[in-house]
Amino acid sequence: MLRGLTVSTIVHASVLAMAVLSWPHQKSDCDKMIERLKKEEPGLAPVDILMRIPQCASAIDVPIDFVEIGLVTDIAPVQKAEEPEEKEEEAVPEEVEAQPEPPPEKNRPRKRKKSSFPTRRPNRLRRRKRKNQRRKSLLRKRRSPS
């Protein structure tokens, strides 16, 4: 009984769906514009209609051609863009006024540059690196045939 009910429901639903789809309905403004274009210019391709009325893209049936990749032969080669040659003009050096540099002060202490890392961190990294190197060397010794 359950199989009969399921099949009956599917059949009735598909019949109703076909009736709704095939039922005549009013034409939209886009359909009217497309028909007018086809009457004015017969033989106009759907792609051309789409280009002229892009707001009606959902109402136009555009054919899609499936082509095997091996059959495509009209591929243009990739060309490099031509770079315009620039003529190098001789640069005329401008006279720069030499300003005397102030003499360095001997008694003034140099400013110490602050590092972005705290001082202990590089030591930690060095320790880790050494520790990892020791581990690797021990593993190599264990793996190597003696």
Q: Tens place of pLDDT for every residue, the chain, 146 residues?
A: 667 888 999 999 999 999 988 887 777 888 899 899 999 998 888 888 888 888 888 888 777 777 666 555 666 667 777 776 666 555 555 665 666 666 666 666 666 666 555 555 567 778 888 898 988 888 888 877 65
3-state secondary structure 26-76: CCCHHHHHHHHHHHHCCCCCHHHHHHHCHHHHHHCCCCCCCCCHHHCCCCC
Rounded to whole angstroms, how far apart are CA atoms 143 and 107?
61
First-to-final CA distance of the chain: 79
pLDDT for position 22 = 85
Q: Scan for tokens 């001082």, then name that residue.
A: 119
Tell me the per-residue pLDDT of 36-71, one tens digit each, with 9 for 90 and over.
Answer: 999 999 888 888 888 888 888 888 877 777 766 655
> So what's the pLDDT on residue 18?
92
User: Quick one: 49 exposed, middle or buried, by C-beta within 10 A (0-12, 13-18, 19+)?
Assistant: buried
